[in-house]
Amino acid sequence: MLFHTLVESPYAFDVDVERFEPDVLAASHQQPVLVDFWAEWCAPCHQLSPHLNRVVDEYRGALRLAKVEVDEGENMKLAGQFRLRGFPTVILFQDGEERGRFSGSRSTHQVREWLAAHLADMAGDAAA
């Protein structure tokens, strides 16, 4: 599998349907995992990718980014499982559960704000 951007993050990795449970759902019990569902033919997917990498890099390992190329192998099953309606779709997982999602391309600033709001919500959940 290849990253769909020239800007790679050391905190990003490719994942497929076979590795999704251990590498995303189980791993999200240790740290939040952001999942980028993308397709090679999708221009907004290519626009979003560097912004996701940039923001994940800012977390310096406290957050991981899993990239699912939905047209590769049987990965479209994941799109169906999570009822994705378009690409790109980004879903944040914590403790094995979905904590938020957005679709479409966003700027680095917008991704940063969305993620900060959802991680703050999770911190509040943990305190309660």
CATH of the domain at 76: 3.40.30.10
pTM: 0.89
Residue of 15, 34, 42, 84 marked active site: 42
Count of structural domains within the chain = 1
Q: In what order do the strands lie in the sheet with 89-94?
A: 12-14, 64-69, 33-38, 89-94, 97-103
23-63 pLDDT, tens digit per residue, is 999 999 999 999 999 999 999 999 999 999 999 999 999 99
Query: Which residues, in sequence order, are CB contacts of 89 under 8 Å at separation 6+?
Result: 37, 79, 82, 101, 102, 103
pLDDT at 122: 59
Please report whether residue 80 resides in a domain.
yes
Q: 117: domain range?
A: 12-123
Is 74 an active-site residue?
no
Residue 33 lies in a domain: yes
Residue 4 domain flag: no
45 is catalytic: yes
**Catalytic member of 15, 27, 33, 45:** 45
Q: Is residue 102 in a domain?
A: yes
**In this structure, are strands 89-94 and 33-38 parallel, antiparallel, or unpaired?**
antiparallel
- Give first-to-last CA distance, the chain, whole Å: 40
Tell whether 70 is covered by a domain: yes
